[in-house]
Amino acid sequence: WGGARIKRLAEEAAAKAAAEAAAAAAAKEAEEKRLAEEAAAVAAAAASKEAEEAAARELGYPSLAIMKARLQPKSPEEEAALAAKYGAMELGERAFTILADLGIIDLHPDPDDPSRDTSKDEEEI
């Protein structure tokens, strides 16, 4: 009956190994499905963002962010966030930042760039 016991132990070990392999395969398949769904969601969000950007440009705005900044009325939460953002700034800095955020003025990435047009730098407004 020693041979029967060894056979039973071998069958149990084989069944356990098969169950573990099946569980590992199922876990791998679930992870691959999750990653595929996540990639699809990221792609859909990017496509949606691109569509929103295109719609904003079609309406004449330089970007979606500028369009959203110019939308009125603002919710009380948005008003509070803007007050917190701009409230601590000095008047000149606040005015400049608001104009830049609304897209009314453009910031040059490198003020020392030799190709930058400096012909109007000293003009009074």
Report the pLDDT value the prediction gives residue 117, as an integer from 0 to 100: 76
Asked if the model's pLDDT at residue 125 lies above 80, the reply is: no
Asked if the model's pLDDT at residue 110 lies above 70, the reply is: yes
Residues 1-29 have a mean pLDDT of 92
pTM as predicted: 0.50
The per-residue pLDDT of the chain, averaged, comes to: 91
Write the DSSP assignment of 8-44 as a string of letters.
Answer: HHHHHHHHHHHHHHHHHHHHHHHHHHHHHHHHHHHHH
Report the pLDDT value the prediction gives residue 70, as an integer from 0 to 100: 92
Provide the token pair at 108: 């040059």
**Which of these, 4, 27, 1, lies nearest to 12 by C-alpha position?**
4
Residues 36-56 have a mean pLDDT of 95
Asked if the model's pLDDT at residue 1 lies above 70, the reply is: no
DSSP 8-state secondary structure symbol assigned to residue 75: P
